Structure 1
Amino acid sequence: MIQSQKKWLISRPDEQLVHELETALSIPSVCAKVLVSRGFKSVEDAKQFLYITEEQIHNPFLLNGMDALVARVHQAIGAGERIMVYGDYDADGITSTTIMMKVLELMGADVLFKIPNRFIDGYGPSERLFQEAFDEGVTLIITVDNGISGHAAIQFAKDLGMDVIVTDHHEPGETLPPADIIIHPGLKDATYPFSHLAGVGVAFKVAHALIGEIPKEFYYLVAIGTIADLVSLTGENRYFVQQGIKQMQRTDSIAIEALANVSGVEISTINEETVGFMFGPRINAVGRLGEAAPGVELFLTEEPNYALAIANILNEKNKERQAIVKEITDEAVEMIENANVIDGPSVIVVGKKDWNPGVLGIVASKLVEKYYRPAIVLGFDEEKQMAKGSARSIEGFHMYKEIAKNSDIVPHFGGHPMAAGMTLSLEYVETFRNRLNEQAKIALTDEQLVPIVSIDVPLEMEEISTESIESLQKLAPFGMDFAKPVYCIENVEVSSVRKIGSAQNHVKMELKQGITLLDAIGFGKGDLADEIAPAAKLSFIGDLQINEWNGRKKPQLMIQDAKTNEWQLFDIRGIRQEKRWLPMIPLEQTIFVAFHEQTIAHFRSVIPKDIWLVAELLEQQVHADFVTILDLPSDEKELNQLLEYQEWQRIYAHFYADESTYFEGLPTRDQFKWYFSFLAKRKTFALKQHIHELAKHTGWSQKTINFMSKVFFELNFVRIEGGSLVVNENLAKQDLSEAPAYQQRAKEIELEQKLLYAPYIELKQWFEERRAGQTVPEEEQKWI
């Protein structure tokens, strides 16, 4: 058995509807299955999704306050007022700032931008920067991607005499800030038909309203901010990202060219994954470690060399960020493991002095990925006696609302259901941890603590081709609320498997279903190679990609998870060197058993666990998932008892035998006849003294001679006097098979034949029959 790492929820799409979409839309079955599993129930709905148009873009004046914003901005420009765009330090905030700067400059405004330093100002509106703006002559502040929770700072700006327009998309609190105008698609009284815009999406709507037409030249900026901020890729967000990616693929933007250069990306191949995993982290890096302004300057500059220089700075900052993340993550994991707090519904809350606040959200995400618990990671400032950090959550635990229940001790926080940021006094960290853990017991069930993977499409391998994989691009872009499909291939053979990579921590295999073969690779899944027994059938989930090598394209499964409910037999018979088979056995889940004391003595120094005699194991009622059988029983019944004891998920069969009885065999009747005649002629034979000469004369082993002597003794043909064999008189006729030693030797030979020397497939069948409780008549057993 191989246990999956996550709970699989497999969608089984309606085959008739799949066929209907496949035929009407001329798409492969793989593509049609994804659409059906995602809820498309008609050809028309699917067609509208596949061929999305500009009609998805809503009128920006449906946003409450937009008329007032346009009027106030035109008033400011007409009067020559200085305007400040106040952004945020992540990719969404940087692209939001860029759009607002570009459109205001296009309109002829006197405009500047400021972005808070997360270490000095923290998240959101800053009194320090608002004062600085006032001193520089600013009379109108427009926030982008922040402001909805900046009550105090906005009131401060108002008291200075400045007007404030808030444009934001973050979760609003119970009360709204005292801004002059608020543009937010998700307020309670909002009339806008799509509430999932990123901050950059809101800025785009403002730009649309200000210039009176769709500012299509900004699609690429909207795409970057929307993807990086992990908002829903449905509705108009899907259209923005789709168009933005196309724009980047044929870009004349020197910023995109510079980012592609430092990321090692070919511009024509840019997609949502490029943005999410290559561009986004680099844009975010500057704001995580210091000033985010260079990110905006990258998108505003028209000088290619300057753009490349900034992109290189972003790239170096990202490398620095990666090193810091690894160091903090390692420290956090050590804290968690030492505290042993991952038990039942719970929230991870860890913190330490001088942890960089700029990367704590990433660390929290890694902890959620590892432990599948909500996680809060805090950096402690002992001088100010404050803790500041980030949170990431799991389904079922609304992070923003749960933190809000603690507003008496967490005065500053903001975010979403799945992510948040906060600041609190160091003295309340332990109280905060305890409260959240009590809240988790109410909000979460044990079942919710098992990570779930939703699988769109169970496929037959014959459906997989380079053409069908390429067709999936019609469904892109993928992201939040329209995730990249996860594919499932069920009950397939693994025709070959091997570990790859310098550390042997990856696995490459070939899967087989009927006559169809498929390459598969699992990064970081090298241990899987040790878990797959011969002839086992496994199910896999993962992503389908095209592997191109030397101009040849082949489909390939990128393995995310694997499982089989079959019990598995691992054949380690005949491997004398323990170092060759012991490392493949998961020690914590395995019991090592032996039938003989001498076997335990033989292995005691090399196996780092207790070795149980089978009889003691059964008596003590010790349980484990896997068992390693070290030697052969004297009787088949002993092994049957072990198999009946529990349903072992894995059996590792070693069957160590110091000497093989099978190859020694049973002496023939002619041998017995000759040996008895030899003894009868002499009446008395000093066996111990002359066995060496007898063995040399007959060509038999001393073991064989001793065995035949024991059989004669048990049948009362001879007796032992003073170390000599003495032939008895008046012998009763008996068959050799009546001797217990003869019977035992016959059993041992049969067991060795069945267990030690049988081909793997026959050994597996032997175990199958006994696991199923079947009794197979001896005459029907076909052993070689």
Structure 2
Amino acid sequence: MIESKKRWRMEKPDDQIVQHLQKELNLSAVSAKLLASRGFFDVDKTKAFLHMDESSMHDPFLLHDMDKAVARIKQAIANEEMILVYGDYDADGVTSTSVMMSALQQLDANVTFAIPNRFIDGYGPSERLFKAAFEDGVNLIITVDNGISGVNEIQMAKDLGMDVIVTDHHEAGEILPPADAIIHPRHPRGSYPFGELAGVGVAFKVAHALLGEIPKQLLELVAIGTVADLVSLHDENRYFVQEGIKQLRKSNRPAIQALCQIAGTEQNQIDEETIGFLFGPRINALGRLSDAGPGVDLFLSTDSVEAMTLAKVLDSHNKERQGIVSQMTEEAIAMVESGEIGQDPHVIIVAKEGWNPGVVGIVASRLVEKYYRPSIVLGLDSEKGIAKGSARSIEGFHLYNELAKNRDILPHFGGHPMAAGITLAIEDVADLRNRMQEQAEAELTEEDLQPIQQIDISISLEEIDLASIESLKKLGPFGMDFPKPMYCIERVNIASMRKIGANQNHVKMELSDGPQTLDAVGFSQGHLADELTPGVAVSFIGDLQVNEWNGRKKPQFMITDAKTDDWQLYDIRGIRQVNRWNQLIKVDQTLYLAFDQKTVIHFETLLNVDIVLISKNQAFPTPKPYIVLLDIPQDEQMLEAVLTHIQPKRIYAHFFASEPTYFEGMPSRDQFKWYYGFLTKRPSFDLQTNVNELAKHKGWSSSTLFFMTEVFFDLGFVKINNGRIDMQEDAVKRDLAESTVYQSREQQMQLEQKLLYAPYMELRQWFDTRLVEQTVPEEEQQWI
């Protein structure tokens, strides 16, 4: 048995709906199943989702105040007023600024931009920067990806005589800023049909309205900001990303070409994962560590040399960011593991002096990923007396609402159900930790604290081919609210398996369900090679990809998790080096069993664990899920009784035999006859002294001679005194098989053949026939 890392959650789509979609839309079976599992039942709506065009976009003037904003901006351009585009320091903010700047420059506006410094100005409108803009002669400020919460700062700008247009997508508070126009997809007095635009999407709508036509050349920037900001990939956003990726793949923009080069990716292969994992982190790294302005300069640059120089700046900052995140994550994990913040907390709150506030959100996400607990990571500033950081949550714990219960000690906080930013006094951190712990204990059940893995569909190996994988790619782009699919392959066999990688921490398998096979790879899943055994049916979840090698394409399954309910047999027979197999065993869940006292003595120092000696007339040990069979029992019934009682999920078969008999065999009757005749001619024979000479003479082993002597003694044919054999003249004639010594050797040879020397699958079959679920009455739980 192997338990999955997470709780798998999968619902089976309706077969009739699947077949209907497949037929009407000419989809592969896998694509139709995936769409049906995600709630696409209507053919027309599904078709509209899959095949989007310009008609998927809404009229920008449906946005509240758009007419006011366009009129004021055109007035500023006509009067040659100075315009400031005020952005944000993340990827959405940088691309929003770039889109707005591009549109205004196209209209020959007198325009510049400013982005707040995370460490000096914090998020959103900054009085410092607004005052600097006024002193520079700015007449109109246009915020992008921020501003909706800047009530006081915008009032100050108005008091100074500047006009302000806010374009934003973040949650609006009860009081809106006193701006001249507010462009927001969820404006409380608006009725825009789609409220999930990213900041760059809002900026694009303004650009569209200003230019009077769709600025398609800007869609590549919209795609980057939309994917990086993790907004819903439905409606307009889906179209923006779909079309934007097409633009990115053939873009002549120096910034895109430079980013591809430093990220080591082919431009014609750009997709949403390229944006999310390669472009986004590099753009975000600027604002996390210093000034995000170079990001805008990069996207606005028309010079390839300048663009490459700026791209290298982004890459350098990203590498620095990665190092900082790794160190902070290690420190945070050490705090959790040491119990410094409490034993098994329901909410993790870690804080340390000097932690970079620009990356605390990433560290919080790492903690959630590792422990599956709501996590808050705070950087302490003892000079200012404040703790500032980010929080990430899990399903079932509404982070914003729970933080709101602590407003009295949280002067500044904001966010969503799953993420938030907070600032509080250092002396209140311990109080917040205690309060949040109590709140989490009241809100979260044990089940809530087990991570969930949503699975889209179960697929068979027969359904997986190159055509079906290519058809699945056409369902993209994937992202928020339309995530990359997770597939389940249920109860398949492992035809072959081996560890790969320099550190042997990855695994490569060939999966089989009989006639069909499929290659599978698990990165950082090397442990599966130690845990999965032949002959078990295993279920896997993961992703489908095309593996191309030397011009040949093959389907490949990328393993995320695995589980099996089958019991497993681990063959550790003949591995003398105990540490080679014992280090793979979970000692606290394992019974180490021996059937001979000599075995206990042999292993007790080697293993440094408690060994249970199984013998007749002894109570059964308390069951554990795993057992190690250190040696071979005296008879099958004894082992069968143990298996019936324990019903182990894992059996580690070592079967140590200090003096194995199977290959030595049983002496023939002719050997017994000759030896008996030999002793008859010598009524008294000193075997101890002469055994080696006699063994050499006959070509037998000395142990064979000792064994035959024990059989004769057991049958009453001889007496033994200090190694001297004396014949019994009045001995009754008896068959060799009547000797218990003879019978024991026969039985031992048979057991060795079945258990010690049998091929793996034969040994597994032997256990299979005996591992039948039985209830053993309490009064019978004793050796008879």
Q: Tell me which interval the TM-score lies in, with the shorter structure as reference length.
A: over 0.9
Question: Are 1:3 and 1:563, in contact at CA under 8 Å, matched by a contact in 2?
Answer: yes
| Structure 2: distance between partners of 1:231 and 1:96 | 14
Inter-partner Cα distance in structure 2 for 1:576 and 1:451: 39
Structure 1 residue 530 and structure 2 residue 558: aligned? no
1:38 is matched with which residue? 38
Give 2:110's aligned residue: 110
Change (3 A) 1:437 1:147: farther
Find the aligned partners of 2:613 and 2:741 in 1 and give their Cα distance: 23
Asked whether the 8 Å contact 2:644–2:774 carries over to 1, the reply is no
**1:29 and 1:496, CA in 2 relative to 1: closer, same or farther beyond 3 A?**
same
Structure 1 counterpart of 2:97, which letter? T
Instruction: Quickly say closer, same or farther: Cα 1:336–1:715, change in 2 above 3 A.
Output: same
Q: Which residue number corresponds to residue 460 of structure 2? A: 460
Aligned to 2:10: 10
1:170–1:414 contact (8 Å) kept in structure 2: no
Residues 417, 666 of structure 1: CA spacing in aligned structure 2 closer, same or farther, 3 A cutoff? Answer: same
| Structure 1 equivalent of residue 782 of structure 2 | none
Conservation of the 8 A alpha-carbon contact between 1:345 and 1:444: no
Q: Deviations over 1:588-612 (max 9, x none)?
A: 5444332223323333444354433
The yes-or-no answer on 1:229 pairing with 2:229 is yes
Change (3 A) 1:37 1:260: same
Please give the residue correspondences for 1:177-326 in structure 2 after superposition, counting only pairs within 5 Å.
177-326=177-326
Task: Note if 1:594 corresponds to 2:590.
Answer: no
In 2: Cα distance, 1:538 partner to 1:638 partner? 31
User: SS in structure 1 opposite 2:149?
Assistant: coil
Offset of residue 623 of structure 1: 4.7
Aligned CA distance change for structure 1 residues 185 and 773 (closer, same or farther; 3 Å): closer
* Sequence identity percentage: 59
**Contact 2:612–2:621 under 8 Å retained in 1:** no
| C-alpha deviation, 1:426, in angstroms | 0.8
Letter in 1 for 2:194: F
- Compute the displacement of 1:579 (Å): 5.1
Deviations 1:71-124 (A, max 9, x none): 333344444433322111000001111122222333343322111111111112
1:645 aligned residue: 645
Over residues 433-463 of structure 1, what are the superposed CA-to-partner deviations in whole Å (9 max), with x where a residue is unaligned? 2222222223322212222222222112122
Matched, 1:130 2:130: yes
Residues 154 and 164 in structure 1, CA contact (< 8 A), matched pair in contact too: yes
Cα 1:591–1:170 shift into 2, 3 Å: farther
Question: How high is the TM-score relative to the length of structure 2?
Answer: 0.93
Q: How is 1:346-495 mapped onto 2 (pairs within 5 angstroms)?
A: 346-495=346-495
Cα deviation, residue 174, structure 1: 4.3
Counterpart residue number, 1:95: 95
Contact 1:399 1:419 in 2 (8 A): yes
Counterpart contact for 1:345–1:446, Cα < 8 Å: no
1:48 is matched with 48
* Contact 2:361/2:391, CA 8 A, preserved across alignment: yes
Query: Does the 8 Å contact 2:391/2:419 carry over to 1?
Result: yes
Give the whole-Å Cα distance in 1 for the aligned partners of 2:173 and 2:616: 64
1:678-705 per-position Cα deviation (integer Å, ceiling 9, x unaligned): 4344443333344344434444333233
Q: Is the 1:149–1:172 Cα contact (8 Å) retained in structure 2?
A: yes
Quote the Cα distance in structure 2 between the aligned partners of 1:463 and 1:414.
46
Q: How big is the shift at 1:475?
A: 0.6
Other-structure match for 2:706: 706
* 1:384-442 Cα deviation digits (max 9, x unpaired): 11111112222222222222222221212222222222221111111112222222223
Letter in 1 for 2:662: Y
CA distance 1:154–1:595, change in 2 (3 Å)? farther
Pairwise CA RMSD = 2.5
Corresponding residue of 2:139: 139
AA partner of residue 643 (structure 1)? L
User: Larger deviation: 193-202 or 667-676?
Assistant: 667-676
Amino acid aligned to 1:764: R
Alignment of 1:466-615 (within 5 A): 466-578=466-578, 580-587=580-587, 589-614=589-614
Q: Aligned letter for 1:257? A: Q
Amino acid at match of 1:242: Q
Kept in 1: contact 2:624–2:646 (CA 8 A) = no
1:330 paired with 2:326, answer no
Structure 1 range deviating more: 210-219 or 752-761: 210-219
Residue 618 of structure 1 contacts residue 645 of structure 1 at CA under 8 Å; is this kept in 2? no
Q: Deviations over 1:147-205 (max 9, x none)?
A: 23333333433443433332222223444344443332235554222121111111122
8 Å Cα contact 2:620/2:645 also seen in 1: no
Distance 1:478 1:150, change over 3 A: same
Q: Secondary structure of 2:634's partner?
A: coil
Unaligned runs of 5+ in 2: 776-784
Query: How far is 1:316 from its partner?
Result: 1.1
Which residue is equivalent to 2:64? 64
Letter in 1 for 2:353: K
For 1:596, the aligned partner's letter is D
Is the Cα–Cα contact under 8 Å of residues 599 and 630 in structure 2 kept in the other structure? yes
Cα distance between partner residues in 2 of 1:90 and 1:66? 25
What one-letter code is carried by the residue in structure 2 that aligns with 1:346? H
Partner of 2:724: 724
Residue ranges of structure 1 left out of the alignment (5+ in a row): 776-784
Shift in Å, 1:759: 1.8
Instruction: Give 1:375 deviation, angstroms.
Output: 1.4
By how many angstroms is 1:49 displaced?
1.6
Distance 1:618 1:195 in 2: 72
Q: Helix, strand or coil: the match of 1:296?
A: helix
Match of 1:780 in 2: none
SS in 2 for 1:339: coil
What CA distance in whole angstroms lies between the structure 2 residues aligned with 1:749 and 1:587? 31
Match of 2:778 in 1: none
Report the residue type matching 2:544 in the other structure.
L
- Cα-to-partner distance string for 1:547-604 (whole Å, 9 max, x where unaligned): 1122111111111111111111121222334454445445554443322233233334
Cα gap change, 1:618/1:104 in structure 2, threshold over 3 Å: closer, same or farther? farther
Deviation at 1:3, TM superposition (A): 1.6
What code does the residue aligned with 2:237 have?
N
Q: How far does residue 716 in structure 1 lie from its aligned partner after superposition? A: 3.0
| Structure 2 contact 494–512 (Cα < 8 Å) conserved | yes
Number of residue equivalences: 775
Cα distance change of structure 1 residues 616 and 43 upon mapping to structure 2, 3 Å threshold = farther
Q: Is 1:670–2:670 an aligned residue pair?
A: yes
**How far apart are 1:268 and its partner, in Å?**
1.1
SS of match in other structure, 2:387: strand
Relative to 1, partners in 2 of residues 1:116 and 1:350: Cα closer, same or farther, differing over 3 Å? same
Asked whether the equivalents of residues 497 and 509 of structure 2 are also in contact (C-alpha less than 8 Å), the reply is: yes
| Aligned residues of 1:11 and 1:454 also touching (Cα < 8 A) | no
Give me the whole-angstrom Cα distance separating, in 2, the residues matched to 1:337 and 1:617: 45
Find the counterpart in structure 1 of residue 780 from structure 2.
none
CA contact (8 A) 1:736 1:742 kept: yes
Q: In the superposition, relative to structure 1, how do residues 258 and 697 fare at CA in structure 2: closer, same or farther (>3 Å)?
A: closer
The amino acid that maps onto 2:508 is K
Find the aligned partners of 1:55 and 1:715 in 2 and give their Cα distance. Answer: 100
SS at match of 2:313: helix
